[in-house]
Amino acid sequence: MRKERESAAKVPPIQEEGGEAADHVGALYNLGRLTRGRGISESKADWERHDAMQLGLQDEAAFAQLLEAIQRCIPGLDLKGLSRVLMGLGDTHEDLPFGHAKTPSAHLRRVFGLVDAACDGLLAKWEEATDDRDLGFPLFALSRLGIYKQEVFDTASGLLAAKLGSDQPLPKEALRQWLLACNSVSHSLVEHQGAIAAYRPAEAWAKEEPSRLHQLAGALVSLPHPDPLLAEVVREVVRRPVKELHASKAVALYGLQAVRLLGEAGQLGAARLPPAVARELDRALERKSRAMRRSSRLEAAVGQALAEGGFQPRPGVVVRPGLSADFACTRRSASGGRGGRGEGGDFFVEVDGPSHFCVQPFWRLRGRTVLKQRLFAAQGQALISVPYWVAAPPGAYARRDECATKPRLEVNQQELEGLIAEQLEQFHRSREV
């Protein structure tokens, strides 16, 4: 995130009723700055573990009092204050997308109520916004929370798009942050793609930090026609020494690999990575992806059901560097062979846990899940999405304020086979269009 307008100061004490609005908002904002990154992320958590919510803040009575005090202050906050409320929530709840199924209902209602009030305030005041950060920061915070509100994203996106061609064009970091936020919650920017594709930054791309440049390239693949901007960004990537690929963050390289794979499939116009750069990108991704992979109880339950259904699952399959699936499977035809459409064949399975979906609305797919399906399709492969509630519906989870028992994971065999057949049929139909 771009450097905030004010640096994080010492966290002021959490005040009870009677405190000033700025004190309450500042307490939440600075608390978020200090606790950010200290929760248990999905990559470290077992299926049965709850999220830490930054050192258990959601279990603290004083934290609940702070959120309630801020709720009462919302009507009097300006744009900056409203933005800081959402940023503070995003920082103190960065694990919410993974742990929302086990978060106490009372705390979820408190967070949702505060988000709703802040968004209503932003919608009422955004027309007077002159600073792009008052538009972009709230969207980025909502995307971190996994909360999607179409009116909020539509309104802010329209105002940000209007700034792209102004006398003082949107800063590069603001563009990147806006695209990443919208992609995260699968918000379409098709109506603004012309203005985005024609974007010209005030400063040359040569000054952009490598990871941010790679990440911007990946963010642009969500647009059906991202050129000429994507082509310019790719040219800058190619112009630079390949050692920058190895120094870049893994999450940024995944975006660049998306550019490479979709470009090879002819889906991105002129944006292509030369073979030498593509090979170096593969090496960088292979080196960064060597960490030991741990499967969850949910994956084990789905894998067992796939085996019992005769799908011969092979776990942890890497299709291309940076592109993997939980299982590779084979569906046998009635004659015993792999067969063709409607009979059998090879396909891949991804078990989509809670973080693959928005926290609100809970059924909405996150952007990374949609992109992964698109990348597999570009390789001519079907990726079957198995949502977590197939094995354990949301009601099966013990909330943190209830008896701490592990959810009973039991996959309905008939439901799983029907889900696979339906998605394979959709995949084959899409290939015929």
pLDDT at 235 over 80: yes
Angle made by CA atoms 298, 384, 263, in degrees to the nearest 5: 125
pLDDT at position 55 is: 47
Kindly state the percentage of the chain with pLDDT values over 70: 83
Identity (one letter) of the amino acid at 403? C
More confident residue, 271 or 224: 224
Instruction: Determine the average pLDDT of the residues in 220-238.
Output: 95
pLDDT at 253 over 50: yes
Lowest mean pLDDT among 96-105, 217-226, 393-402: 393-402
Instruction: Determine the average pLDDT of the residues in 147-168.
Output: 94
Angle between helices 229-239 and 250-264 (to 10 degrees): 120
Lowest mean pLDDT among 11-25, 211-225, 257-271, 394-408: 394-408
Continuous H helices in 93-228: 96-99, 105-125, 133-145, 150-164, 172-184, 193-197, 210-220
pLDDT at position 43 is: 38
| Burial class of residue 43 (count of CB atoms within 10 Å of its CB; 0-12, 13-18, 19+) | exposed
Is the four-CA dihedral 233, 234, 236, 240 of positive or negative sign? Answer: positive
| Burial class of residue 15 (count of CB atoms within 10 Å of its CB; 0-12, 13-18, 19+) | middle
pLDDT at position 395 is: 57
More confident residue, 20 or 403: 20
Single pTM value for the model: 0.87
More confident residue, 410 or 256: 256
pLDDT at position 291 is: 60
| Mean pLDDT over each residue of the chain, to the nearest integer | 85
pLDDT at position 38 is: 56
Instruction: Determine the average pLDDT of the residues in 298-310.
Output: 91
pLDDT at position 398 is: 52
Tokens coding 160: 């940000």
Residue 425 pLDDT level (bands cut at 50, 70, 90) = very high
More confident residue, 391 or 177: 177
Q: List, for residues 130-150, the tens digit of each pLDDT value.
A: 999 999 999 999 999 999 999
Q: Closest Cα partner for 184 from 215, 146, 155? A: 146
Residue 400 pLDDT level (bands cut at 50, 70, 90) = low
pLDDT at 178 over 80: yes
Instruction: Determine the average pLDDT of the residues in 83-108.
Output: 88
pLDDT at position 18 is: 43
